[in-house]
Structure 1
């Protein structure tokens, strides 16, 4: 996505937040959130569009298009600047405190000048909230507790942390007497890259045994709230987990509702309204009679709305409803489609398992081919040498004869130097079956230099895959700055695949980039970047990210038969030029 699109997306999201804090129209706030999503997924650079073309973007009406045009021309938007001036940044942070919503946060600022969590804690200690309507001693106590919870949780967590916890809880609750179904829902089911809290949904005629078992789990540090339909806990890992129990007949409607996203659910409810129906977590009802129409399965709910079942990773209101109505939903790539893994490491460099151990684990996964891609010498701390790499190549060839059902490919992960060069000369690179090339240093280069660097790597006839494109590490390192449109064009032109790196703290490229790059005809490789046997299973998160990017099996080179993959790896677009 062009950089200006990212700036506009952030601007629109901020304005939606500001509207919510000031008690503005909720519909208007949602409209700006929707426009932000539309801008994020739009394939064109907003800076190249006129007002009429901006208005043509789904979700961007005349008013919002005018604000975008104002930002593009002046670098700011007057009404947003005015809203910022009224609300210090700290007030937005207050809304993250459990039990303290936007209206109360704004009241605290207007009445007491509180604009940070620290000021709020001090004000409660001085009993300054006592005279405010709606802020009695109990409310103050709850706020302090919410602050403690917020600080202890550390905010959102990576998807693997949330997934492991969710699967553990689901497995335990599924054994409780009377539990007919149990699964995770929410943003985790949609494979968002980070998770705020975990949503668990269960079906049972009597909710009491499930709620009791949930509260008594040994990973619970606190029961935040407990009821017949919903119980919330805090776990030893700092995450909040919400359990909702619904009657078995409501399962499908509840699963659809609690999976979200909110924006997707708004769209499905709008469709229901137009059909004189009402959709809730309890079912799809006839508005006039109040009779239940369907509710037992998600498929039933979507079908009655005139839609095919929509896979959860697509449920972000990024065109999935329209595609479903046209019968054009993609047949998403799945983990079962992967025939191999094209980016893995051993203990020859920074892996922790031997070559033999990694191969045994890969074969157990049923792969038809598998690439070993240890680091090249320019990543100095890995202490790679020509001799070590050639010795590994010989060993791979020996082992290849032992794995009749799995072809072994000897590769390497090259380092893209600041000028776009890679580690070895062409004659040495020619001995590899494939090469992944990644940025491991000089993350703060200028946008122009970084773009040239990546494009030059694509143009190298021996570079087959651009690894973890942006170099980001979620929560720790920002992505590099580049004209990714130019990079995507280079990938398509040269036959260089773009990696969907499955490591949970990378998930790089992200779904928005996938949506954008696919329009250029770019092909992708979903790789584990495994550094251990356990890491091989993390490829599920790359698959989830690819699904969020609407990828099919044909878009992903490591779903292809070996002969087709090998033809692609010869990179004829470059070598025959």
Structure 2
């Protein structure tokens, strides 16, 4: 389940939002927001810390530490509850709409009496927002898009980010695998296919007796409610509101059941059609002769696929995007795997907005067995990071000193540049030439015209010192839509200039997404799978980037940070 760090991060972030809504001290709101991020990214379980230990976390002072201890011991923060009570519930509902900030939500309530999403939709339909200062037709479009995003990514669909679902699934699989009689246990569904958001979790067990497993999942400490209880299936709701469906299969049906419950629905339909053409019938219980009803095979997925004339198809490809036809032609790609990643090329330290020191980030990367690792703190155009030439050069000297400290891992010194409104980046070419690599990203001016945004990204690609375009669409899942650029033109520019596109593995981004990867690959673009880590706890996010790369049909050759260092350096050299 969620770490105490994650719970406290959410509580402090809510408090920061509520302070902003009520017109409170902006410095106070910012302080709580910084503390929330620092606690969320802190590697140690904060429930094990006392007040002194909490105050050692960056941005956590005495007042915030006291509130954290209060929450950990009682589950409440009176100051937060008082602030909640002062704000109409409807306004808090409005804040959840991406693109609609706290102040605009309060303005809508005070000026128009809007206190729900439905009332907001009515107000937009009646064009009432256009009379308000700071609102207009473009604002209406953004809000409508934000409402649609919220409904698709959690508002009404109840979907959660992949990392939260993975935490729950892996804990349940570990618990049930230790139950007597378990012959196999795995999560299935969209989580096994590495979708970026998950509706509910499917867990499968292979066993001859189902009773012990149904009892075990109902008795888990984070089971809040048993929704349904049966011999073959039990559904629970966790204390965080996530539904988990457990199915117990006969061991002899394990392969067919795993295939069936992994999906997708469209993939299953495609292979059932193939089974019919072979005179078979395929279900979650096995592959059967259509006429005699005799079971042919079902023990493993590999066996089922083989009897249909197919190789085993990786779960991340099972979306009916041509994987069955490719399998029949023996043309499935040899997908990139976690172990193929040789290094992370986009990470941050506490020199800018990271939460860990350079030394700690390097040590954590070395523990992952990387061959190389890049530090890419923000450049000066993001003024809130207060970067200077002197600071970045001092960091470069320290990086060079640390290079070689961890055997078999080389360090690269880079920067994440800001792509300005006109496509320019922070430093001139002669200064950029001193970096081992430059990642360039859009961080502001998201509402430029389609032509302006396209030209902006293309110009960054054409900069000879830019090696990677970071989080290309800028989206935050369920919070902020991607920018409206002509990405086919951007993909063409990347292929022409030899600029890699990032697959940002942070679960809140997953940017590029799988569909964009598939489009970009057709142009011959190369990719970099990076974590954009701001903490040592973010480095394991790499698995989500690799899963997304697999969904985009990528191989090792497509991804520059699977390459040996010498080949990577050739790619990173000025174009």
Report what 2:459 is aligned to: 456
Matches within 5 A, 1:403-414: 403-414=406-417
Structure 1, residues 405-426: CA drift from partner, whole Å, max 9, x if none? 1110000000000100000111
Q: Is the CA contact (8 Å cut-off) linking 1:220 and 1:236 kept in structure 2?
A: yes
Among 328, 352, 356, the residue aligned to 1:353? 356
Q: Is the CA contact (8 Å cut-off) linking 1:193 and 1:507 kept in structure 2?
A: yes
Q: Is the CA contact (8 Å cut-off) linking 2:333 and 2:553 kept in structure 1?
A: yes
Alpha-carbon distance change, 524 to 151 in structure 1, aligned in 2, over 3 angstroms: closer
Report what 1:563 is aligned to: 566
Structure 1, residues 487-513: CA drift from partner, whole Å, max 9, x if none? 001001111000000000100000011
Report what 2:291 is aligned to: 288
Report what 1:505 is aligned to: 508
Take 1:429 and 1:404, find their aligned partners in 2: how far apart are those partners?
A: 28
Report what 1:250 is aligned to: 253
Matches within 5 A, 1:52-71: none
Structure 1, residues 275-324: CA drift from partner, whole Å, max 9, x if none? 11110000001111111100000000000011000000000000101100
Take 1:543 and 1:520, find their aligned partners in 2: how far apart are those partners?
A: 20
> What secondary structure, in the 3-state scheme, does the structure 2 residue paired with 1:178 have?
coil
Shift of residue 404 of structure 1?
A: 3.4
> What secondary structure, in the 3-state scheme, does the structure 2 residue paired with 1:367 have?
coil
Matched length: 427
Take 1:405 and 1:399, find their aligned partners in 2: how far apart are those partners?
A: 13
Q: Is the CA contact (8 Å cut-off) linking 1:152 and 1:238 kept in structure 2?
A: no
Shift of residue 485 of structure 1?
A: 0.8
> What secondary structure, in the 3-state scheme, does the structure 2 residue paired with 1:249 have?
helix
Report what 1:11 is aligned to: none
Q: Is the CA contact (8 Å cut-off) linking 2:157 and 2:199 kept in structure 1?
A: no
Are 1:439 and 2:452 matched, yes or no? no
Take 1:323 and 1:229, find their aligned partners in 2: how far apart are those partners?
A: 35
Matches within 5 A, 1:424-573: 424-571=427-574
Report what 1:402 is aligned to: 405
Q: Is the CA contact (8 Å cut-off) linking 1:153 and 1:238 kept in structure 2?
A: no
Matches within 5 A, 1:117-516: 155-516=158-519
Q: Is the CA contact (8 Å cut-off) linking 1:284 and 1:294 kept in structure 2?
A: yes
Shift of residue 151 of structure 1?
A: 9.7
Q: Is the CA contact (8 Å cut-off) linking 1:153 and 1:239 kept in structure 2?
A: no
Structure 1, residues 139-160: CA drift from partner, whole Å, max 9, x if none? xxxxxxxxxxx99987100000
**Which residues of structure 2 form unaligned runs of 5+?**
1-115, 119-152
Take 1:496 and 1:331, find their aligned partners in 2: how far apart are those partners?
A: 23
Take 1:274 and 1:294, find their aligned partners in 2: how far apart are those partners?
A: 17
Structure 1, residues 226-269: CA drift from partner, whole Å, max 9, x if none? 10111111101111000010000100000000000000000010
Structure 1, residues 181-236: CA drift from partner, whole Å, max 9, x if none? 10100000000010000110111000000000011111111111010111111101
Take 2:396 and 2:314, find their aligned partners in 1: how far apart are those partners?
A: 41
Take 1:375 and 1:337, find their aligned partners in 2: how far apart are those partners?
A: 27
Take 1:500 and 1:451, find their aligned partners in 2: how far apart are those partners?
A: 19
> What secondary structure, in the 3-state scheme, does the structure 2 residue paired with 1:329 have?
coil
Take 2:267 and 2:228, find their aligned partners in 1: how far apart are those partners?
A: 28
Alpha-carbon distance change, 152 to 215 in structure 1, aligned in 2, over 3 angstroms: farther
Q: Is the CA contact (8 Å cut-off) linking 2:184 and 2:206 kept in structure 1?
A: yes
Moved >4 Å (runs of 4+): 150-154
> What secondary structure, in the 3-state scheme, does the structure 1 residue paired with 2:485 have?
coil
Take 1:313 and 1:354, find their aligned partners in 2: how far apart are those partners?
A: 35
> What secondary structure, in the 3-state scheme, does the structure 1 residue paired with 2:417 have?
strand
Take 2:404 and 2:474, find their aligned partners in 1: how far apart are those partners?
A: 36
Take 2:313 and 2:558, find their aligned partners in 1: how far apart are those partners?
A: 20
Q: Is the CA contact (8 Å cut-off) linking 1:438 and 1:469 kept in structure 2?
A: yes
> What secondary structure, in the 3-state scheme, does the structure 2 residue paired with 1:155 have?
coil
Alpha-carbon distance change, 216 to 402 in structure 1, aligned in 2, over 3 angstroms: same
Q: Is the CA contact (8 Å cut-off) linking 1:343 and 1:436 kept in structure 2?
A: yes
Q: Is the CA contact (8 Å cut-off) linking 2:467 and 2:572 kept in structure 1?
A: yes
Shift of residue 396 of structure 1?
A: 0.3
Take 2:157 and 2:410, find their aligned partners in 1: how far apart are those partners?
A: 44
> What secondary structure, in the 3-state scheme, does the structure 2 residue paired with 1:290 have?
coil
Structure 1, residues 421-472: CA drift from partner, whole Å, max 9, x if none? 0001111111100000000000111100000000000000010000000000
Take 2:373 and 2:562, find their aligned partners in 1: how far apart are those partners?
A: 12
Alpha-carbon distance change, 464 to 475 in structure 1, aligned in 2, over 3 angstroms: same
Shift of residue 403 of structure 1?
A: 2.7
CA RMSD of aligned residues (A): 1.7
Structure 1, residues 350-387: CA drift from partner, whole Å, max 9, x if none? 11111011111111111000000001111111111111
Q: Is the CA contact (8 Å cut-off) linking 2:154 and 2:478 kept in structure 1?
A: no
Report what 2:34 is aligned to: none
